[in-house]
Amino acid sequence: MRPAIIGPGALGTMLAVKMAGAGPVLVDHYPERAAALDASPLVLEEDGRETACRVRVSAAPPPSSFDFVVITVKSHSVAAALERADEIVRPEGLVLCLANGIGHLDLLRKRQGPGACAAGVTAMGATLIRPGRARFGGAGETVIGPVSNREERKPLEAAAELFARAGMRVRVSPDIEVEIWKKLLVNVGINGLTAIHGCRNGEIAESPELAARLAAAVREAAAVAARLGVAVEGDPVEVALAVCRRTADNISSMLQDVRRGKRTEIREINGEIVRLAASLGLDAPVNREIVEKVTALEAAAGSHPPESS
Ligand code: PAF
């Protein structure tokens, strides 16, 4: 099963090193950066060790030649990454999108390209130290599942096997929408607040005031999920606070983006809750305020246009 990974960000770089044994190609849409990355090994820092692997990095991978294409770009770049995936996947292959947020699910469902299509979420943490060098931020489960009931299980199971061989904890779910909502509810609570307050994830759980903001944002999002008929088990506020404690030292991906002056995923995370709430006749004032504050931070930082991962 020949894999390609689209997006040389933290997750893409980590996957490329972990899957190096399967001979992946890492796809970067910037030709100059692709050439520079191709010239030296990719490095993954993990528990004080470094793994360096030669992985092919290309801005122009050959068409129709991959059995498994994993999209790891930021949610605002999924549409462009899907076009690239459609060009390079084999007709009997699989395209898997691991983006944050929920909006991309509609894009995947409407996709007409070759091969099967799946979505997934991962709780594995990664930080990009610089292009070509990522730091593993903690183990976590990766869940993948079909985006429509037309898809066959076979390519998904082969993909899960490849991830497992790369040392990842992976599960195939028949209801990926619920899994995506579970992750979205965590990101709704943590990402915007850490970006606004410039704090590590753990500081939210430690501050009664920030924990209350998290709870209010997550409850608004859970009300949207409930109105859409998405049944998320357990108390999503407790789940989000537990993730804050488990990833206490992490700098969230959104805070990393703000610090680098990159466009954040605020529109696709809290912004999507505001949009969905409005379409359902609900209000989401806490999420709206989070969106406004993060958008102001982006503007102050002069955030760059969308970029892969
Ligand atoms: O986006 C992130 O950084 C992660 O999803 C999470 C769970 C907030 C941990 O940092």
Catalytic-labelled residue, pool 18, 74, 183, 262: 183
CA–CA distance, 12 with 58 (Å, rounded to integer): 13
Residue 307 has pLDDT above 70, yes or no: no
Q: What percent of the chain has pLDDT over 90?
A: 88
What is the tens place of the pLDDT at every residue in 275-289?
Answer: 999 999 999 999 999
* 252 CA distance to ligand 1 middle (Å): 5
Q: State which residues form the domain around 244.
A: 178-301
Amino acid 227: pLDDT: 97
Q: What is the CATH number of the domain that holds 198?
A: 1.10.1040.10
Same domain assignment for residues 144 and 261: no
**Domain boundary residue, one of 135, 158, 174:** 174
Amino acid 303: pLDDT: 65
Amino acid 129: pLDDT: 93
User: Which tokens go with 205?
Assistant: 């759980």
- DSSP per-residue letters across 97-166: E--SSSTHHHHHHH--SSSEEEEEEE--EEEEEETTEEEEEE--EEEEEESSTTS-HHHHHHHHHHHHHT
Same domain assignment for residues 35 and 166: yes
What is the tens place of the pLDDT at every residue in 88-136?
Answer: 999 999 999 999 999 999 999 999 999 999 999 998 888 899 999 999 9
Per-residue CA distances from 252 to 4, 118, 120, 184, 241 (Å): 26, 25, 19, 14, 14
Is residue 74 annotated as part of the catalytic site, yes or no?
no
Same domain assignment for residues 140 and 238: no
Q: Is the CB of 250 under 6 A from ligand 1?
A: yes
